[in-house]
Chains A and B, each alone.
Chain A
Amino acid sequence: MTADFLLSRYPYVLIAVLFAIGLYGMTVKRNLMKKIIGMTIFQTSIYLFFIQGATKQGATIPVLDPELGPSAELYINPLPQVIVLTAIVVGVAITGVALSLILVLYRRYGTLDEVELLRRMRESA
Chain B
Amino acid sequence: MSQIPALIPTSLLLASLLSLLIGLKSRRGAHWTALLGAIAAFAFSLMGVKAMIDGDGEAIRYAAGNWIPPIGIEFVLDSLSAYMTAIITFIGVIVLIYAPRSLALETPGRERMVYPSMTLVLAGLVGMCLTGDVFNLYVFLEIAALAAYALLAIGDRGAPVATLRYLLFGAIGGGFYLLGVAYLYYATGTVNMADLSMRLPELMESQAVIVAAVLMVVGLGIKMALFPFHFWLPDVYTNAPSVSSALIAPVMTKVSAYAIIRLFLDVFPPGFFTANLPLAQTIGWFSAAGIIFGSVLAIAQHDYRRMLAYSSVGQLGYIGLGIGLANPIGMIGGLLHIVNHALMKGLLFMIGGAVRLRFGVTKIPDFVGVGRAMPWTMVAFTVGVLAMVGIPPTAGFFSKWYLLLGSAEAGAWVWFAVIIASSLLSAIYFFRVVEMVYRDPESDSAVEDREPLPRGEAPASMFWPITIMAVSIMAVGIFNVLIVSALLERVAAPLGG
Contacts and interface: CB of A to CB of B under 8 A. Distances in A.
A35 B15 CA distance: 34
A121 B172 contact: no
B175 A43 contact: yes
Interface residues of B, number: 30
A101 B172 contact: no
Contacts of A53: 182, 185-186
A94 B182 contact: no
Contact of B139 (A39, A79, A86, A117): A86
A87 B138 contact: yes
Interface in B149-189: 149-150, 153, 157-158, 160-161, 163-164, 167-168, 170-172, 174-175, 178-179, 181-182, 185-186
Interface residues of A, number: 31
B168 A83 contact: no
Contacts of B179: 46, 49
Given A46-B175, A98-B164, A118-B161, A104 B153 contact: yes
Contacts of A23: 172
B149 A35 contact: no
B135 interface: yes
B160 A105 contact: yes
Given A43-B175, A101-B167, A118-B161, 18 more contacts: A23-B172, A26-B172, A32-B164, A39-B171, A42-B175, A46-B182, A50-B185, A53-B185, A83-B191, A86-B135, A90-B142, A93-B146, A94-B170, A94-B174, A97-B146, A98-B164, A101-B153, A105-B161
Contacts of B167: 94, 97-98, 101
B162 to A, nearest CB: 10
A15 to B, nearest CB: 10
Contacts of A83: 135, 181, 185, 191
B149 A97 contact: yes
Contacts of B186: 53
Contacts of A1: none
20 contacts: A42-B175, A43-B171, A46-B175, A46-B182, A53-B182, A83-B135, A83-B185, A93-B146, A94-B146, A94-B174, A97-B150, A98-B168, A98-B171, A101-B149, A101-B160, A101-B164, A101-B167, A104-B160, A117-B161, A124-B157
Interface in A91-125: 93-94, 97-98, 101-102, 104-105, 108, 117-118, 121, 124-125
Contacts of B161: 105, 117-118, 121
Interface in B113-142: 135, 138-139, 142
Nearest to A122: B158
Nearest to B150: A97
B365 to A, nearest CB: 18
B121 to A, nearest CB: 13
Nearest to B70: A79
A97 B117 CA distance: 13
Interface string A64-93: 000000000000000110010011001001
Interface string A44-64: 001001100100000000000
A118 B139 CA distance: 32
Contact of A39 (B146, B163, B168): B168
A118 to B, nearest CB: 7
A105 B158 CA distance: 10
A14 to B, nearest CB: 15
Contact of B171 (A94, A117, A125): A94
Interface in A15-37: 23, 26, 32, 35
A121 B158 contact: yes
Contact of B178 (A46, A93, A98, A101): A46
Interface string B432-463: 00000000000000000000000000000000
A109 to B, nearest CB: 9
Given A26-B172, A49-B179, A102 B164 contact: yes
A39 B171 CA distance: 7
Nearest to B136: A86
B171 A42 contact: yes
B139 A90 contact: yes
B264 to A, nearest CB: 23
A94 B158 CA distance: 20
Given A26-B168, A53-B182, A93 B160 contact: no
A26 B158 CA distance: 20
Contacts of A35: 168
A80 B168 contact: no
Contacts of B175: 42-43, 46
